[in-house]
Amino acid sequence: MTLDELLLEWSYRSDKGYPDMDNPSDISLLKEILEQLDLPTDDILKKVSYSNKDGAPGITGLEPGLDGDEEPKKPEIPPTPEEQEKEEEEEVLGQTTEYDELIKSVFGGEIPKSKNTYKFSKSTFDEQVKPDDLEVWRKLWTVKPKKKTGDQTETLGVGKGELSLYWLYNHSNSSTAGKLAEGRGDDAPDLWFNGEGIDGVEVKAYGKPNGVIDLGRFGKFRDNLKMLNTIFGVAGLAATFEGEVEDQKQKNALTWAGGNLKAAFEQVHTLSQVDLEQIAGIWPIFKDIKSNIDYIETQLGGFQSSEEGAKKMAFKFIGDKLARKPGWGGHLADMSINGFIRFWHIDQDRFENYDDILGKATIGASQGAMKLHFNKIFG
């Protein structure tokens, strides 16, 4: 047995988990161990009974190197579940993110701390930045970290106010403090509020809590774009046959309102009830039109009326986006530089059961970007 092993065995048997030369019980334990190992008990006890440089009893004679400079090793005791949870939480709180480093660069290497508490809940709610936090909030409003694309080209990674919101909830007395994580991926919300993958928040800085919010472009949703092209294409074809002269450029897959979608779907529904295969024998283009209408019916699960079809299209158009960013159950936060924040809770049931999805200024598209009046549905 080495000296390290002997010390470890002695420590395990000691009441405190380490030997105490002032404790007669610990000295008796050592003597017992030495006798069991048939070692020169008296000689060893003389070596360990000494005074250290501070005049206190020590056990340097049993330490590696016998130089008296190192503290005796204590045995490793597995943490309890509660201790393990606390250690993991402290580890998360101690992590430094890219956003933290950016905040430090703005404030001379330090991160300002807020003494205030800001609520966060599974609901739609408003919050106002406290007066003593507004200076930091405004200073971070336009600060933008950079991210690199696949070819290492640096591009701006966040929008206005995102860093402000991160600071407010990550460096205050809020329940989310120390838990915020950066999203910034194509299919990830801007921020995670309770650790990566938990409570996604998409950040907007329009300052229009009672208005229509721009959700970004929808070109990547190829199936939806294909269906909208067919819907408004059929409507344009019908208008041509009927001799209408209205400018159809204002009503297309990239620019439309809920009412336009409903009107266009009326033509799709009408055409879906016609024997297009027979017409295709005369005009082959109708074969492609029929194929596209069949595709719409399959994607939407069928429809019995133009209104039903238009509603299903509207719900799919917006729902596919919300399911990705911020994700069902997450939030979209719109805020202003003056510190007012509205968090809309993206409740899937509430969305899918909203009856007036095609109502005025509720849903639409403008130059390839989708629009939604969040307060009507989630307010």
Instruction: Identify the pLDDT of residue 11.
Output: 73
More confident residue, 145 or 244: 145
**Cβ neighbour number for residue 14 with a 10 Å cutoff:** 18
pLDDT higher than threshold 90 for residue 53: no
371 confidence band (pLDDT: 50, 70, 90) = very high
Amino acid, single-letter form, for residue 277? E
From 33-42, 190-199, 224-233, the region with the lowest mean pLDDT: 33-42
178 burial level (CB within 10 Å; 0-12, 13-18, 19+)? middle
Nearest residue to 167 (alpha-carbon basis) of 224, 213, 116: 116
With beta carbons less than 8 A apart as the criterion, state whether 343 and 331 touch: yes
Could you give the CA distance from residue 200 to residue 213 in angstroms, rounded to a whole number? Answer: 18
pLDDT higher than threshold 70 for residue 146: no
64 confidence band (pLDDT: 50, 70, 90) = very low
With beta carbons less than 8 A apart as the criterion, state whether 376 and 356 touch: yes
DSSP state of 252: B
| For range 104-115, the mean pLDDT | 94
| For range 156-172, the mean pLDDT | 88
| For range 13-31, the mean pLDDT | 75
Instruction: Identify the pLDDT of residue 138.
Output: 96
213 sits in which H/E element: strand 213-217
51 confidence band (pLDDT: 50, 70, 90) = very low
92 confidence band (pLDDT: 50, 70, 90) = very low
From 9-23, 79-93, 323-337, 350-364, the region with the lowest mean pLDDT: 79-93
63 confidence band (pLDDT: 50, 70, 90) = very low
236 confidence band (pLDDT: 50, 70, 90) = confident
pLDDT higher than threshold 90 for residue 192: yes
Who contacts 181 (Cβ-Cβ below 8 Å, separation ≥6)? Answer: 97, 191, 192, 195, 196
pLDDT higher than threshold 70 for residue 191: yes
pLDDT higher than threshold 80 for residue 186: no
More confident residue, 276 or 166: 166
Could you give the CA distance from residue 101 to residue 337 in angstroms, rounded to a whole number? Answer: 22
Instruction: Identify the pLDDT of residue 218.
Output: 86
Instruction: Identify the pLDDT of residue 341.
Output: 96
| For range 13-39, the mean pLDDT | 76
To the nearest whole percent, how much of the chain has pLDDT over 90? 41
Express each pLDDT in 195-214 by its tens digit. Answer: 888 999 999 999 877 888 98
